[in-house]
A and B are shown apart, each in its own frame.
Chain A
Amino acid sequence: MTKKIGDVILDVNNISLRFGGVKALTDISFNVKEHEIRAIIGPNGAGKSSMLNCINGVYTPQEGSITFRGQTFDHMDSRQVAEMGVARTFQNLALFKGMSVIDNIMTGRNLRMKSNIFLQALRIGPAENEEIKHRARVEEIIDFLEIQAFRKTPVGQLPYGLQKRVDLGRALAMEPKVLLLDEPMAGMNVEEKQDMCRFILDVNDEFGCTIVLIEHDMSVVMDISDRVVVLDYGKKIGDGTPEEVRNNEEVISAYLGTSH
């Protein structure tokens, strides 16, 4: 059974981003279709993380626009992006180390909480019902990610691979349409990578999330992505299916170097 890939959900048009004289991104355009797994690859400093930061509004590009579900923006506002259903994970794990796994994932529900801070603090009336509802969703995510044994463990005590899972869990708690994953497998061993691959495919399959991921491990990228964008020195040098990208001369020379 092949999965259904829908229409374009996210369209990046001619984005350029400069920090003073440094050109991080130059005239980048690509699109992401609904339900697909879209990888962004490239050597170190190619501008991959900058690209994600432009999409979720951390950086404001000087030129270009981003169209998300039919609406076009010159720059994205990070809260607005989150409210529209874009969640992300971080390369360097921005988790709350002293808080438990449950509490960390619960923070991902923040945008969906309606009752005010006073009701929440006193845990009365509608706030209590709401908390129970959100906790139920968090428990489903814990079950999905198979981290039941660590519910109440402070995140800082967990091994790195599990912290990455918690990070993914927090992003999933937002019930996102689009999930941006910044190097989800960096620093993992082979077994942890296999687990993470399985979770990414399951998220894509069972939750119907569209996934944009940055990854260094080529075998992972080639195995799980539907389409791949290749960046080098802030420029797009390739775009297509894993097969097409693998045979692209420019990509090969960017990765392996060419003889002159």
Chain B
Amino acid sequence: MQTTFPKLLIKHAAERPEAAAMREKEYGIWQSISWQEMAIMVGHIACGLHQAGLKRGEHMVVVGSNRPRLYATMLAVQSLGAIPVPLYQDAAAAECVFPMTNAEVRLCVVEDQEQVDKMLEVRESYPALEHIYFDNPRGLRKYDEPGLGSLDELLAAGEAFSKQHPHFYKEQVEAGTQEDVAAMFFTSGTTGNPKGVVHTHGTLIDRAQAGAEFDHLTSNEDVLAYLPPAWIGQNIFSYAQWLVAGYVVNCPESMATVTIDLKEIGPTYYFAPPRVFEGMLTSVSIRMEDASSIKRSMYKYFMSLAKEVGPKRMDGESIGLFNSLMYALGNFFVFAPLRNNLGFSRVRVAYTAGEAIGPDLFTFFRSIGVNLKQLYGSTETAVFVCLQPDNQARADTVGVPCRGVEIKVADNGEILVKSPGLLKGYYKNPEATAEVLTADGWYHTSDAGFIDSHGHLKIIDRVKDVGRIKGGSNDGAMFAPKYVENKLKFFPHIKEVVAYGDQREKVCVMINIDFDAVGNWAERRNLPYAGYTDLAQKPEVYALIKECVEQVNADLAVDVLLAGSQVSRFLVLHKELDADDGELTRTNKVRRGFIAEKYLPLVDALYGGLTTQFIETVVKFEDGRSGSVSATLNISDAQTFVPVKAAA
């Protein structure tokens, strides 16, 4: 279908002028904006931007949280054939300089005073930034910097212009084609400068449609937009699919009110990374502990039932008459009120993506009747590559390829994707484009994985991290450190894990206990401890962790590919891995190489067969001082299992 986002807007405004397009909570009341109002506002902003000098093909930056007028601005920019570049609202000024210089941005529309201050700071090192428009004028009355103006003024100027040139806006929209660039998303590179991912109207609309068809989305859906619009996930859910399916996008009042707003709106289509679901489960668990004993025992009884039969029920399998009756009872007393409290009363489809989700967490939501599923995709693929069908959701796979997608596993285990939604390229970076997008049309995801026997894609690790075991009984077996680490981290008692095994004969891990969880566990057992280091080295704690490790080994033994990644030896570290000490990245990912160097005696001890090892490390405190922590660590062996395939 030959169309663009602004054309879709005009279509909705013509077909359903009075229907709500967006809602925003203001002064405590949800205020609706109809499709017609939206189209008029977009037209006025477009005229205003045209007068301000925005040219076809030029980039314009939009920064802010989910606000209807900022979404309208993106549409207005696209109406003129220009390209909106959303940037993260919490990025520092220095981080915005590169994208803005790279895209040669002259105009930007931002949300409020905080963002205006940031743009003024950017302008010190990037003077080409001519115009800064703001949505919310609060606190900006005294600013008189050149080129600074309010969105209200821009709208008024645009309205005046459109009265004189009533056909201008429509003509501009008509001139757009689906091959035009629709938006550019900057991906945070772990090394070097961020890369601008260029998408056309065609790629984004095609993927939005594929996703909408897969889950039968209609114009009756309600979505709550609360993640940063600069992230392509949010952009697909509250912009591309909004315009494709024509549903209602709801903007929360502020970041602090998201949980309240979620409950009030009761979205039917929901998306969140695993950490959001984890936060919900934690708050439920904490509040249940404070509940009366009747409620607690009801919760306990029905949750154990739900855990057993809930997921089967969601998968459409029969659970028997008695269980069905009991589940209905549980639904009345526990599950329905719980869903209501979480804001999931009406949810039809909920997705999680971005990182691995723990099986217990995943099962919890499915068992209380929330249709939580996983999907696979990235900025470069316009999100939708694989999705889980309604009754085939699993915690360890990411679903089946959706319409138009072809998947191939390369010899090195890398997943290659061919899809109508692939990026046009990285902006002004042909070398990087050539690396990921080969001439034969395959996009290289740099994720390693495989298609399982049910046709579901399973992601193991980043390709560059996947190694091989060398020597010993598992010589040549695949070793996926992140896969092993995640499996261990899903246990509530384990906070962080570092796994080694590439080019070695066995896998060894260093573990950080979760101080709160293990501390609580120890207190309930009357196990006294003096602090983190003391607790970490308790033989009881080692026994607890050993159980976790052996359970993971038992799981891995069943796995055809990864049976060789079973953990032979482990130790519990005496201090928490910390970004201040350089052991984690700022986004809390373990820096395996750095840790191996820093704790070399421990790694040697793990592989050298010692049972204890003394270690002294320098730590940095938050106030900048440093001190040292020393301890003698125990090292424990863990039982490994014969791979099931080999044994058979």
Contacts and interface: CB of A to CB of B under 8 A. Distances in A.
Given A148-B253, A149-B254, A140 B142 contact: no
A100 to B, nearest CB: 12
A164 B583 CA distance: 41
Contact of A139 (B28, B138, B144): B28
A1 interface: yes
Contact of A205 (B27, B28, B141, B254): B141
Contacts of A205: 141-142
Nearest to B27: A139
Interface residues of A, number: 14
Nearest to A136: B27
A149 B28 contact: no
Find the residue from A1, A146, A149, A198 having the highest chain B CB count within 10 A. A149
Nearest to B252: A148
Contacts of A1: 142, 144
B389 to A, nearest CB: 37
A206 B141 contact: yes
A7 interface: no
Given A136-B27, A139-B27, A143-B27, A148 B141 contact: no
A146 B27 contact: no
Mostly helix, strand, loop or mixed at chain A's interface?
Answer: helix
B220 interface: no
A140 B29 CA distance: 12
A149 B27 contact: no
A142 interface: yes
A136 B27 CA distance: 7
Interface residues of B, number: 14
Contacts of A206: 141
A149 B260 contact: yes
Given A139-B28, A140-B27, A142-B28, A148 B142 contact: no
A198 B253 CA distance: 21
A136 B26 CA distance: 11
Contacts of B138: 202
A148 B139 contact: no
B254 A148 contact: yes
Contacts of B139: 198, 202
B473 interface: no
Contacts of B256: 148-149
B257 interface: yes
Contacts of A146: 254
A148 B28 contact: yes
Interface string B124-155: 00000000000000110110100000000000
Contacts of B141: 205-206
A206 B136 CA distance: 14
A216 interface: no
A151 interface: yes
Interface string A151-165: 100000000000000
A151 B138 CA distance: 21
B42 to A, nearest CB: 26
Interface in B247-280: 253-254, 256-257, 260
B99 to A, nearest CB: 29
Contact of A151 (B28, B142, B144): B28
Contacts of B257: 148-149
B146 to A, nearest CB: 15
Contacts of B144: 1
Nearest to B260: A149
Contacts of B142: 1, 205
Given A1-B142, A149-B257, A151-B28, 10 more contacts: A142-B28, A143-B27, A146-B254, A148-B254, A149-B253, A149-B260, A202-B138, A205-B141, A205-B142, A206-B141
The 5 closest A-B pairs by CB, nearest first: A149-B256, A139-B27, A149-B257, A148-B253, A139-B28
10 contacts: A1-B142, A1-B144, A136-B27, A139-B28, A148-B254, A148-B257, A149-B253, A198-B139, A202-B138, A205-B142
